[in-house]
Every structure is written in C-alpha cells, then in structure tokens.
Structure 1
Amino acid sequence: MKTIAACVEELLVAQPFLEEALARNIINYSALAEELTTPVSDMLRKPVKTGAIMMALRRYSPPPDLGGSPRLKKVIKNLGDITVRSNLIDFTFLNSQSLIKSHSKLLEHIQPNPNVFYAFTRGILESNIIISNAQKAHILNCFKNETLLAQKEQLSAISLNLPENNSKVTGLYYQIFKRLAWEGIALYEVVSTTNEFTILVEDELIDKAFSVIKRLKA
C-alpha cells in the first residue's frame, strides 16, 4: 500500500527542478504542500491533509549530488573548448538493408574534405545524419533510394570538450540540460562521444545557447 511519503517522493523525482530547489532549501514548504495536496490525494484515492504532506516534504532526502557535488563542480569548471558550427542540415532516414551502402557513398565523397561537419547516428528504426548544408545535393543523391523521414535546415551546432572520466561524474548532463531548459532553449538534436558533447539548435537560438554553455564554467 502506498504511503504519503512514497507519493511525495514519486512526484518530486518526476520534477527534478523542484527537487533541486527543495535540496537547496529555497522553496516554501507550506506552498508546495498545498500544491501537492490534490495529486497525492488522487494517487491514494482519499483526502490527504496538507500538514501530512508538509511533514513528508521535510523528511524527504534528495540525492546528495543533485545540487552539485564538489567533484561535479570541478568537472564543470574544467570543461574544454567550445566550438560553434553553422549552416548545418539534419536528415532522418528509415533504416533499411541498403542504408549502409548509401552511407558508404557519402563517406567516400566527404573523406577528402576534413572541414565538412558530419555526424551519423543509427537508431533501432531510423538513422540520422547531420552535415554541412553545402552537402545537401550529395546527400539526396547518395540516399535517393532510401526513405527520407525528416529534413531540417538552418541549424547550428555547439560542441563541448569534456574532461576525462566525465562519464563517472553524476549529474553532468543534467546540469547542461537544466540550464538550457531554464533559458527556454529547445534542442533539435544531441550527439555525444566519450569526451565530446554536441547540441544542435535552430539558428535563431545559437547565440543564446552559446551564452548558456559559456557560463557553465563561470
């Protein structure tokens, strides 16, 4: 049987911004308890008093790293170079038996030109290609026998070099996504390797996104 404490925890975990504010003691417990009264009552299918919810909030222990552990802060401070690329286009193709062959044709074409921005991601049902807009005609030619699911132009990318062992630090990506979300920046695509992280946004958002990423280290 669910308890009030379990319901409160479930609601907080589903809202990490709220959970972090609670961890930093910058939230009004009484107001939050009033806000959670209806959803908790719905989850338990019976009326719940605000005082009981407030008690559950005060007893709740957020994850210790949620607000930024010393290790996380050190990694953020040591983030590497930021690279911005513009005039990009994003293609999404349906996966097929011939897709790899089409892809190899594209690689042969761009291999002599190291300045071409290119990223390829293969999912379960579809594959995604991000490439310089100047290569649009070649993409359409190489993949002319494939099923094009989506095509988006006027995109820009911000690439960020990450410190070694970043994958062992809890909350790094959360901090990046959180700050972008707070600024109302929608991400069109995200690509990452072991020590490099790239976000793709619409051109009109690139200046704002770059400012957010740059301030991460401040």
Structure 2
Amino acid sequence: MKTIASCVEEILLSQPFLEEAISRNIVNYSALASELVTPISEMLRKPVKSGAIMMALRRYSPPPDLGNSVRLKKVLNSLGDITVRSNLSNYTFKNSTTLYTSHAKVIKKLGDNPNTFYAFTRGIHESTIVISSSEQEHIERYFSGEVQIGVQNDLSAISISLPEDNTKIAGLYYQIFKRLAWEGITLYEVVSTTNEFTVLVEDQYVNKAFSAIKRLHS
C-alpha cells in the first residue's frame, strides 16, 4: 500500500537533481512540501497535508554517496586527457545478417589511419556508426544494401580518459551527465569503453560541453 513516505521517495528518485539538493540540505522543506501536495494527493487518491509531506521529506534518507564521497571526488580530479574531434557523421542502420560484412569492408578500407574517427555500436535492433565526415562516401557505398534509419552530420566527439578503477566508482557517469544536463546540453550519442568515455554533441554545443566537462576537475 502506498504511503506519503513511499510517494515522496518515488518522486525524488525520478528527479535526481532534487534528491541531491535534499542531500546537501539546500532545500526549503516547507515550500517543497507545498509543491508536492497535489501530485501526492493524486497518487494516494485522497487529500494530504503539507505538514505530513514535510515530515516525510525530513525523514527521507538519500544515498550516502550521492556525489559527495571522497573517493568519487578523487576520481573526478584525476580524469585524464579530454580530446575533441569535429567533422563527424552518425549513421544508424537496421540490424541484418549482412551488416557485419559491410562493417568489415569499412574497417579494411580505413586501416590504421589515426586521423579517422570511427566507432561502431550494435544494439538489439539497430547499429550506429560514428565516423569522420570525410569518409562518408565509404559508408554510403559499403552499406548501400542496408536499411538506413537515420544520418546526422555536423557532430563533434568529446572523449575523456578515465582512471583504471572507474568501474568501481558509483556515480561517476551520473556526475558527467548531471553537469551536461545543468548546462542544457543535449547529447546526440554516447560511446564508451572500459577506460574511455565519449559523448557526441552537435557542433553548436561542443565548446559549452567541453567547458562543462573540464569543470569536473574542480
């Protein structure tokens, strides 16, 4: 059975920025409780008082390491090089039995050219290719027999080198996504390996996104 406390928890979990503000004790509980009267009344299907909601808010215990752990801050301060690559294109194709053959042709053509950016991600139903725009003709030639779902040009990639123990740190990616969201930056694509994290943004956002990520060190 739903209670005021469970409704408060559900709302806060769906709004991580608000949850973090509560964990940092920078929220006006009375004002927030008043804001939550209507949604919680609708969730419980009965009227509730702001005083009861405020009590639930004060009793709520957010995760203890929500952005404040010493270990997480140490990792953020030790992020490696930040590399920006521009003039990129993003292709999305429907998965097929021949898609890997087309992919192999592109890999063979590109070879070990360090000046070419190339990333391939296969999902359940579709696959995405991010490539330097100068190589578009090869994609369009080798994938001509595939079902193209979409294509987007004028993109830039921002890659971050992560510490080796990054997979043991809870909340690391959240901190990156949070900073970008606060800056109003829309991510077009995300690509990651074990120790490298790349976000793909439209060219108009690249400078703002780079500055936001660089400030993670502070």
TM-score (norm 1): 0.99
Q: Deviations over 1:69-123 (max 9, x none)?
A: 1010000000000000000000000000000101111011001423210000000
**Other structure's SS at 1:149 match:** strand
- Is 2:202 the partner of 1:169? no
**Other structure's SS at 2:89 match:** strand
Give the match for residue 206 of structure 2: 206
Give the match for residue 192 of structure 2: 192
5 Å-filtered alignment, 1:1-218, equals 1-218=1-218
**Other structure's SS at 1:72 match:** helix
Amino acid at match of 1:92: T
- Deviating beyond 6 angstroms after TM superposition, the runs of 4 or more aligned structure 1 residues are none
Tell me by how many angstroms 1:68 deviates.
2.1
Aligned residues of 2:37 and 2:53 also touching (Cα < 8 A): yes
Cα separation, 2, equivalents of 1:112 and 1:28: 56
Q: Deviations over 1:20-44 (max 9, x none)?
A: 0000000100010001111111111
Aligned residues of 2:67 and 2:175 also touching (Cα < 8 A): no
Amino acid at match of 1:7: C
TM-score (norm 2): 0.99
Aligned residues of 1:121 and 1:129 also touching (Cα < 8 A): yes
Aligned residues of 2:117 and 2:132 also touching (Cα < 8 A): yes
The answer for unaligned runs of 5 or more in structure 2 is none
Tell me by how many angstroms 1:67 deviates.
3.1
Cα separation, 1, equivalents of 2:113 and 2:4: 61
Query: What is the aligned residue count?
Result: 218
**Root-mean-square deviation (CA), in Å?**
0.7
Amino acid at match of 1:27: V
**Other structure's SS at 2:25 match:** coil
The answer for unaligned runs of 5 or more in structure 1 is none
- Give the % identical residues: 68
Aligned residues of 1:68 and 1:171 also touching (Cα < 8 A): no
Cα separation, 2, equivalents of 1:5 and 1:165: 36
Q: Deviations over 1:37-66 (max 9, x none)?
A: 111111111000000000000000000011
Distance 1:112 1:20, change over 3 A: closer
